[in-house]
């Protein structure tokens, strides 16, 4: 039976489906993803204001999106790191890329910490603030020592590290595994090809999951707007303005300057093409959850080779904490002003250095940086009780502040990856300059 022989009802049944398919291709999938995500954000703000605390009922959609992204995180890291190392050809390149990446991450983190201190000294958000009631003291955990942090990088059980999502341990094992594949020569080539194929598959999965992003972002923004509400920031308005200013300065001046001065590339394509990653970082408040998206953006939008992307970006999730460093530096000045502690130049330098070191131990999850304050505030002579009061004061308002400061964490990863790729001759300039198609 030909299509012309089909019953009239069946033919009519196909027309709505055809119109729906055309509509989706033209007005949904035909629109760049970042524009759809921004639409979700805008609608989420409106829904949050309209629904108020009832927006809690749709939070599960955003939580589901975060779970989907986090589901991909560890497999993407393991597959791409092994594939990237195995494809280098020369083991000496791994050391060169890694050293340059770590150096740039440390420099940008130091700048972030100094920026936070400077903004705090200039705006003085803690002057006149009385810590205590209604702030409720929160339990504060001491940060891990440097020895413990380095020891934790080496997994006793790689399978357990993969299961638990211990990113640094997974990176370490993946690098060792990739080096072994590389040095195995001809015998290791089938394994290298298998991991290259697996990395491609994981990137396809990431692209598919990102189609859920507009709906997840809508639910998360609606929940934050409805439950927290803009009125909550009356108490910390100046601090919030400082965080926003710090994030903007880091992205435009520090990271933009890195792209322009160190990489010798125009900044506009970089800022234009990272929109997907920025919006996901803002809505999820988690560098770890953003990692699969960041890796896709680096390769497909910015032209960073897999060799560099798989080496620098997973490391950046736990090492590159520009936004965290800026925020902790700002809170250090906030606490000092609230408790009437005068910060000397030497103390300021010690605070910057301690922040840069402690930020490495900050988990890439929402609000983790608040509980690293104890080690920094000790430099200013503030004890656990004062730290607990600062945390208790900030914690109710921290969600949106955390959303803002996750953005420079993400853009730092991408700026360093582009810069290292340019230095190593691993950047496709045509891809970098071209507008993304999705």
Handedness of CA 239, 241, 246, 247 (dihedral sign): positive
What's residue 139's pLDDT?
Answer: 44
| Ranges under pLDDT 50 in the chain | 1-4, 6, 9-12, 14, 133-141, 143, 232, 365
Tell whether omega for the bond before 134 is within 30 degrees of 0, i.e. cis. Answer: yes
Per-residue pLDDT, 252: 93
pLDDT at 10: 47
In this prediction, residue 228 carries a pLDDT of: 61
CA atoms of 397 and 228, how far apart (whole Å)? 8
Q: What is the pLDDT of residue 250?
A: 92
Structure tokens at 348: 């300021």
In this structure, the number of other CB atoms found within 10 A of the CB of residue 24 comes to: 11
- Contact between 394 and 349 (Cβ < 8 Å): no
- Rounded to the nearest 5 degrees, what angle is found at the Cα of 337, between the Cα atoms of 331 and 343? 90
| Whole-number Å distance between alpha carbons of 416 and 88 | 19
For residue 419, the model assigns a pLDDT of 93
Taking CB atoms within 8 Å and a gap of at least 24, the contacts of 192-195 are 192/83, 192/86, 192/87, 195/79, 195/82, 195/83, 195/86
How far is Cα 107 from Cα 104, in angstroms, rounded to an integer?
5
Cα–Cα distance measured from residue 322 to residue 247, given in angstroms and rounded to the nearest whole number: 9
Identify the CA nearest to 61 among candidates 227, 290, 284, 219. 219
pLDDT tens-digit map of 105-156: 888 988 988 999 899 888 888 777 665 543 443 444 454 555 666 677 788 8
Domain ranges of the chain: 35-433
The single residue listed with the structure tokens 């090492």 is 319
How far from chain centre, in Å, is Cα 296? 13
Where are the strands (E) in 66-106, listed by range? none
pLDDT value, residue 422: 92
Closest CA to 329 of 354, 302, 311: 354
Maximum CA pair distance of the chain?
Answer: 88
CATH class of residue range 35-433: mainly alpha
**Cβ contact 328:359 at 8 Å:** yes
Instruction: Give CA–CA dist 326/117, Å, rounded.
Output: 7
What pLDDT score was predicted for residue 98? 75
Which tokens is 311 given? 């080496």
Q: Which residues pair with 427 in a beta bridge?
A: 304
For residue 234, the 8-state DSSP code is G
Measure the CA angle with vertex 214, ends 212 and 217; round to 5°.
105
Query: CB count, 10 Å around CB of 156?
Result: 9
Number of helical H runs and strand E runs in the chain: 21, 0
């Amino acid at each position: 039976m030909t299509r012309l022989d089909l019953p009239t009802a069946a033919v009519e049944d196909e027309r709505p489906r055809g119109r729906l398919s055309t509509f989706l291709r033209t007005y949904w999938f035909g629109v760049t993803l970042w524009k759809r995500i921004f639409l979700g954000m805008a609608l989420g703000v409106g829904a949050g204001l309209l629904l108020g605390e009832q927006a809690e009922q749709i939070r599960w959609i955003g939580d589901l999106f975060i779970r989907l992204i986090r589901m991909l995180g560890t497999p993407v890291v393991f597959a791409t790191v092994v594939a990237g190392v195995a494809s280098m050809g020369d083991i000496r390149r791994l050391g060169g890329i890694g050293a340059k990446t770590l150096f740039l991450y440390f420099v940008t983190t130091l700048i972030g910490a100094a920026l936070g201190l400077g903004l705090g000294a200039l705006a003085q958000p803690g002057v006149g603030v009385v810590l205590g009631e209604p702030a409720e003291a929160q339990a504060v955990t001491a940060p891990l020592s440097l020895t413990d942090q380095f020891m934790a990088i080496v997994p006793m059980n790689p399978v357990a590290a993969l299961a638990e999502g211990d990113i640094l341990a997974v990176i370490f094992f993946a690098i060792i595994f990739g080096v072994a594949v590389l040095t195995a020569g001809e015998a290791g080539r089938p394994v290298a090809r298998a991991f290259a194929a697996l990395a491609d598959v994981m990137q396809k999965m990431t692209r598919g999951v990102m189609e859920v992003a507009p709906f997840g972002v809508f639910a998360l923004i609606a929940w934050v707007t409805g439950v927290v509400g803009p009125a909550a920031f009356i108490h910390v308005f100046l601090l919030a303005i400082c965080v926003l200013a710090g994030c903007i300065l880091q992205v435009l001046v520090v990271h933009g300057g890195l792209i322009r001065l160190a990489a010798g590339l125009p900044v506009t394509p970089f800022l234009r093409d990272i929109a997907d990653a920025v919006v996901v970082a803002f809505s999820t408040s988690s560098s770890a959850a953003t990692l699969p998206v960041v890796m896709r953006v680096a390769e497909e939008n910015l032209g960073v080779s897999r060799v560099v992307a798989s080496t620098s970006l997973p490391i950046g999730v736990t090492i590159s904490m520009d936004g965290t460093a800026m925020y902790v530096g700002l809170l250090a000045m906030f606490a000092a002003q609230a408790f009437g502690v005068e910060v000397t130049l030497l103390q300021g330098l010690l605070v910057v250095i301690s922040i840069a070191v402690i930020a490495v131990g900050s988990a890439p999850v929402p609000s983790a940086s608040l509980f690293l304050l104890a080690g920094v505030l000790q430099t200013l002579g503030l004890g656990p009780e004062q730290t607990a009061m600062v945390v208790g004061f900030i914690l109710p308002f921290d969600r949106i502040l955390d959303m803002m400061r996750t953005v420079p964490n993400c853009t730092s990863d991408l700026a360093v990856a582009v810069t290292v790729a340019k230095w190593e001759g691993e950047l496709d300039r045509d891809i970098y300059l071209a507008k993304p198609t999705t």
